Amino acid sequence: MKKKTLFRKGLEKVLSAKPRKRLQAQYAAWPNTPRPLAEWAALRAEIAKSYPYEHPLSLHYVPEAVSADLIEVSELRENLAGRTIGAWALDVDSIHFYWAELLRLRPEVIIECGSGTSTIMAGTYFKKTGINGQLISLEQSEEEKASIEATLEKLGLAEYVSVYYVPLGADQNYDFSKFSPEMDQKADLILVDGPRGSRLNTLPNLKKFAKSGARWFLDDALRDSEQSYLQAWSKEEGIVVEGVIPLGKGFGTGSIR
């Protein structure tokens, strides 16, 4: 079984070399603006002809961790030092993009699914701008909740963040019956980068906590699973899906109506 697995990995590496380079060049040439889901579906079908595996739209991404020294923003570089950048976490390009969006949109209340890099980014944003804001973070792991809270305390960012333990149900979606946030006002921004299960029920359950016109982002949006979530959300009342930005592992985006 082990030899078979290693052979399969080697075979995938050989088959993926050419389409990976082509995709990397194609995505790099596109602007950081959302492209519609129909365009991504057509591209997936084309890539699948030479790469008949899961997540062909994500073939461009090499899941390697890098140093936080590559982050251009000094406050973020300092606060994220020692954390995983890239691999399964937010990559450098996505960090730069999300930071620019925070400064552009200037949200006062943010909701995020999945704590970690983005949690520290939001706390840093509130502290740097002087906005008396609030981040509400949903975390499926009690251990991770305690860890990020300790990190926030150490960095002097704890006052801006409330981390809620929200376990997963049998269907691997958040159990939103366990989520009752204390909010002074509705959210201006939602970031979905969790849970490590299914993200299907995140936006449909969070939209009631967001203002009309609030912007949302979905990380890992070029994976097959996330593409299916976006298709489902596009049919959901109150959710506008604009498409996916060809950045990092894909940033889905839209607004709450």
User: Is residue 55 scored above 50 in pLDDT?
Assistant: yes
Domains and CATH numbers, the chain: 2-256 (3.40.50.150)
Q: For residue 35, what is the enclosing H or E element?
A: none
Over residues 78-129, the pLDDT tens digits come to: 999 999 999 989 999 999 999 999 999 999 999 999 999 999 999 999 999 9
Q: Are 139 and 165 in contact (CB under 8 A)?
A: yes
Q: What is the pLDDT of residue 7?
A: 47
pLDDT of residue 15: 56
Tens-place pLDDT, residues 14-41: 556 777 888 999 999 999 999 999 999 9
Secondary structure in 3-state letters for 80-120: CCCCCEECCCCCHHHHHHHHHHHHHHCCCEEEEECCCHHHH
106/247 Cα distance (integer angstroms): 21
Query: In the structure encoding, which two tokens stand for residue 170, read together?
Result: 């049998």
> How large is the average pLDDT for residues 252-256?
98
- State pLDDT tens for residues 58-67: 999 988 999 9
Dist CA 56 CA 44 (whole Å)? 6
* Token representation of residue 248: 């990092």
User: Is the overall model pTM greater than 0.95, yes or no?
Assistant: no
